[in-house]
């Protein structure tokens, strides 16, 4: 019998095999999901990484590459972007986007983020947009992200949240749609897990609180040796 993690990964594969084959449909749903603010919110999330030209950045669950233009611009031609995703179809769409834009410094790798093991000399930043809430082993994935970051580097997560306040009554419908069409679980407390792993987190809300951008920095907690 398949373990529940395997079943969930199979679901991710199924859902994103569809979106990866139809990247223009994914672009359309992106506009709807972000209520027309996809560009602004994505750009803002990348800005919060605080990247400089020549930096190395990892995008976890990069999908079809909706953040690549912002990341490529932030690190410049001498920088490096690694896009990591479980879905081969989403990565095929990302590959085509890189080819069209001649982004030669973007490398794509397929795998499960909860098992993320990449020896790329460390990253100055790690970002995930609408990715962590879709990853079955998300808590482990955040720990892996912390491991691959250099000290001083930031992890930025932009993800979905359920309605609070008087719009709460919409949540059962939201959960149904997110689960069926995106394999998302927006009830995960991602900022809380980031705080647990990094020891710090700052989060801002967007679109009536239905999206957030959370930022954590990797601190060097090793005590300085006394002379
Ligand atoms: C909603 S899409 C987001 C894609 C992209 N980050 C964006 O901003 O449009 C969620 C992505 O998470 C990926 N994903 C889900 N589980 C994963 C896992 N365990 N490891 C790596 N990627 C995963 C899916 O394949 C999909 O591409």
Answer yes or no: is pLDDT of 73 > 60: yes
CA distance readout (Å), 10 to 4, 86, 188, 219, 220: 10, 10, 20, 35, 37
pLDDT of residue 221: 73
User: Which has the higher per-residue pLDDT, 225 or 191?
Assistant: 191
16 lines ligand 1 (CB under 6 A): yes
CA nearest neighbour of 50 among 200, 155, 187: 155
Atom nearest to 63 CA in ligand 1: 27
**Atom 25 (ligand 1): residue with closest C-alpha?**
87
Domain boundaries, the chain: 4-217
pLDDT in tens, 1-19: 445 678 999 999 999 999 9
Answer yes or no: is pLDDT of 227 > 50: no
User: What separation in Å is there between the alpha carbon of 16 and the centre of ligand 1?
Assistant: 8
Residues 6+ apart with CB under 8 A from 123: 56, 57, 58, 82, 148, 149, 150, 153
User: What separation in Å is there between the alpha carbon of 57 and the centre of ligand 1?
Assistant: 16
pLDDT in tens, 144-180: 999 999 999 999 999 998 888 888 899 899 888 888 8
Structure tokens at 172: 């059962």
> Rg (Cα) of the chain, in Å, rounded?
17
Q: Which of 61, 66, 182 to mutate to test the pocket of ligand 1 (most atoms within 8 A of CB)?
A: 61
86 lines ligand 1 (CB under 6 A): yes
159 lines ligand 1 (CB under 6 A): no
144 lines ligand 1 (CB under 6 A): no
pLDDT band at 222 (very low <50, low <70, confident <90, very high): low
Residue 151: burial class (beta carbons within 10 Å; 0-12, 13-18, 19+): exposed
User: What separation in Å is there between the alpha carbon of 113 and the centre of ligand 1?
Assistant: 9
Residue reference for tokens 């949240």 = 161
pLDDT of residue 4: 61
Residue reference for tokens 């892996």 = 144
User: What separation in Å is there between the alpha carbon of 98 and the centre of ligand 1?
Assistant: 17
Residue 3: burial class (beta carbons within 10 Å; 0-12, 13-18, 19+): exposed
Selecting from 3.40.1280.10, 3.40.50.150, 1.10.275.10, 3.10.25.10, what CATH number does the domain 4-217 have?
3.40.50.150
- Mean of all residue pLDDT scores within the chain: 92
Please, are residues 49 and 154 in contact by the beta-carbon 8 Å criterion?
Answer: yes
Q: What pTM, to 2 d.p., does this model score? A: 0.93
pLDDT band at 50 (very low <50, low <70, confident <90, very high): very high
């Amino acid at each position: 019998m398949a373990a529940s993690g395997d079943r969930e990964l199979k679901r991710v594969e199924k859902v994103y095999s569809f979106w990866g084959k139809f990247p223009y449909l994914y672009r359309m749903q992106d506009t709807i999901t972000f209520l027309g603010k996809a560009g602004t919110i994505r750009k803002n999330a990348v800005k919060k990484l605080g990247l400089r030209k020549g930096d190395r950045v990892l995008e976890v669950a990069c999908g079809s590459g909706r953040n690549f233009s912002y990341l490529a611009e932030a690190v410049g031609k001498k920088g490096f972007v690694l896009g990591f995703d479980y879905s081969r179809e989403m990565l095929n769409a990302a590959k085509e986007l890189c080819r069209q834009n001649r982004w030669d410094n973007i490398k794509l790798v397929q795998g499960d983020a909860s098992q993320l093991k990449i020896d790329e000399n460390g990253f100055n930043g790690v970002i995930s947009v609408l990715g962590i809430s879709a990853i079955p082993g998300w808590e482990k994935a955040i720990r892996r992200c912390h491991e691959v970051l250099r000290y001083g580097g930031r992890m930025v997560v932009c993800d979905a949240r359920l309605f609070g306040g008087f719009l709460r009554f919409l949540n059962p419908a939201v959960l149904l749609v997110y689960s069926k069409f995106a394999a998302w679980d927006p009830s995960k407390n991602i900022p809380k897990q980031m705080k647990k792993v990094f020891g710090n987190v700052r989060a801002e809300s967007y679109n009536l609180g239905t999206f957030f951008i959370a930022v954590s920095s990797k601190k060097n907690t090793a005590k300085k040796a006394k002379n």
